[in-house]
């Protein structure tokens, strides 16, 4: 058996989307060119990190956004971020970490968590990942939220990740799931469903399948409507038809 590849939520999600795409990107290391949506996501993440850094340094929210420089095309996302950070501080939370890279050697996982907030009155953490697209159901994101919880609790075993969510910056919309029974507050009360042990079992199953696929060196193509948008389409057609 080959040495295990350390996985991230991006690698796992790519494998679910298409094992052959996973091969091109992570085995063959053929870099995908950034499209306009990727570039937008990068811009918004960088600005969100800048804002969080200013707030953690003790600057007032209104002053931070008043002095913020950005392209006008990002206006909706900036207003969404302004709401997000005001919600954090007005509901008894503080910023715990920003863009933290975590390696969990026990589970062969790594990743960067966009932002983690902490309840000022307890040891409870809530994870948030930013998305710049249209709001979608939380079910689509359960796998990556499970990965983030595993990573965070591997580094901070004395703290509890109570919830995790997606924040859609352009729409200013939350999609949140709780990890089991938790007390109500502004963020957790917006949860529409929980993340259960079955969701973690699903992650384990996908990871086992991924490692098995690498060992067999057989990466099937998941044919679907996304194929025509895939960066690797021509390469895939030439290699396998």
Query: Nearest-CA neighbor of 166 among 41, 70, 33?
Result: 41
- Provide the pLDDT for residue 192: 77
- pLDDT tens track of the chain, all 241 residues? 447 899 999 999 999 999 999 999 999 999 988 889 999 999 999 999 999 999 999 999 999 999 999 999 999 999 999 999 999 999 999 999 999 999 999 999 999 999 999 999 888 999 999 999 999 999 999 999 999 999 999 999 999 999 999 999 999 999 999 998 777 788 888 887 899 999 999 999 999 999 999 999 999 988 888 888 899 999 988 887 6
User: For position 181, what pLDDT does the model report?
Assistant: 72
- State the SS3 of the chain: CCCCCCECHHHHHHHHHCHHHHHHHHHCCCCCCCCHHHHHHHHHHHHHHHHHHHHHCCCCHHHHHHCCCCCHHHHHHHHHHHHHHHHHHHCCEEEEEEEEEEEECCCCEEEEEEEEEEECCCCEEEEEEEECCCCCCHHHHHHHHHHHHHHHHHHCCCCEEEEEEEEECCCCEEEEEECCCCCCCCCHHHCCEECCHHHHHHHHHHHHHHHHHHHHCCCCCCCCHHHHHCCCHHHHHHHHC
> How much is the pLDDT for 122?
87
pLDDT at 1: 40
Q: How far is CA 77 from CA 8, 169, 173, in A?
A: 26, 5, 11
> Given 1.10.3470, 3.90.320, 1.10.287, 1.10.10, which CATH number is that of 9-240?
3.90.320
The pLDDT of residue 78: 98
pLDDT the model gives residue 162:
93
């Amino acid at each position: 058996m080959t040495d295990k590849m350390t996985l991230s939520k991006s690698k796992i999600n790519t494998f679910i989307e298409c094992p052959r795409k996973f091969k091109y990107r992570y085995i063959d290391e053929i870099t995908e060119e950034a499209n306009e949506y990727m570039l937008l996501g990068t811009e918004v993440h960088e600005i969100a990190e800048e804002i969080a850094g200013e707030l953690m340094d003790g600057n007032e929210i209104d002053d931070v956004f008043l002095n913020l420089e950005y392209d006008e095309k990002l206006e909706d996302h900036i207003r969404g971020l302004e709401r997000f950070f005001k919600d954090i501080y007005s509901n008894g939370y503080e910023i715990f970490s920003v863009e933290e890279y975590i390696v969990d050697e026990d589970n062969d996982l790594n990743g960067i968590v966009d932002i983690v907030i902490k309840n000022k009155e307890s040891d409870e953490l809530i994870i948030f990942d930013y998305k710049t697209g249209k709001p979608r159901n939380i079910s689509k994101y359960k796998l990556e939220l499970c990965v983030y919880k595993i990573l965070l609790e591997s580094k901070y075993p004395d703290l509890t990740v109570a919830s995790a969510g997606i924040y859609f910056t352009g729409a200013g919309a939350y999609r949140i799931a709780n990890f089991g029974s938790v007390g109500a507050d502004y963020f957790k009360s917006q949860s529409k469903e929980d993340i259960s042990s079955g969701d973690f079992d699903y992650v384990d199953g996908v990871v086992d399948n991924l490692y098995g696929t690498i060992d067999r060196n057989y990466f099937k193509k998941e044919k679907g409507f996304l194929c025509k948008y895939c960066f690797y389409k021509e390469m895939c057609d030439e290699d396998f038809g």
